[in-house]
Amino acid sequence: MKVAVLVSGSGSNLQALLDAIAAGRLPVQISLVLADRPGIRALERAQRAGVPTEVLRPRAFAQRADFDAALAAACAASGAELVVLAGFMRVLGPRFVDAWEGRCLNVHPALLPAFPGIDAPRQALEYGVRITGCTVHLVDRGTDTGPIVLQQAVPVLPGDDPASLHARIQREEWRLLPEAVRLYALGRLRVRGRRVEIVGEEND
């Protein structure tokens, strides 16, 4: 299965996917890494792995819908069957979401539906929760509101600040995101309303 990955920053989750593929744990090929700005480390990671890259800058488009349409078209042109948002820091509009409905995964640094949107670790600390975590979910028209595929809890420790908490959450993201993509690639995810079921056995 070919996968397009959308990025905006350092690309640590992209690297987790690349490492899982190289280790034989993830039966997919990354057909495109698509960024919304040039010069980021995620593009360097992709290029080092021999993965095609492309940059689409939002300000190059007259309207937001045109940017979303260009993103969707670039992913389709790469032959991708699945899009993964790996630290992509823009909310996708209806043109993109509708084109890739049921075929787009996002990883978020909180246990959704708690703390959607930006700066989730800081939100968790300010709220005073003892447990937070990360979520991989299917993307819909809302902000971090799509059906949940996998979650992993992470404790909030005394003395945590947003950076230390986020770093601990990220270590779980690097495990959770490749696993969610693997389950999708193997056809083991079934969406029934808001519930995502994992079906079948490993040896099917």
Looking at residue 203, its pLDDT comes to 55
What structural domains and CATH numbers belong to the chain?
Answer: 2-198 (3.40.50.170)
Give residue-wise pLDDT tens across range 36-93. 999 999 999 999 999 999 999 999 999 999 999 999 999 999 999 999 999 999 889 9
Is 108 part of the annotated catalytic residue set?
yes
**Which residue in 108, 166, 168, 182 is the catalytic one?**
108
In three-state form (DSSP H/G/I as H, E/B as E, the rest C), the secondary structure along the chain is: CEEEEEECCCCHHHHHHHHHHHCCCCCCEEEEEEECCCCCHHHHHHHHCCCCEEECCHHHCCCHHHHHHHHHHHHHHCCCCEEEECCCCCCCCHHHHHHCCCCEEEEECCCCCCCCCCCHHHHHHHHCCCEEEEEEEECCCCCCCCCEEEEEEEECCCCCCHHHHHHHHHHHHHHHHHHHHHHHHCCCEEEECCEEEECCCCCC
**Once rounded to an integer, what is the mean pLDDT over residues 128-142?**
97
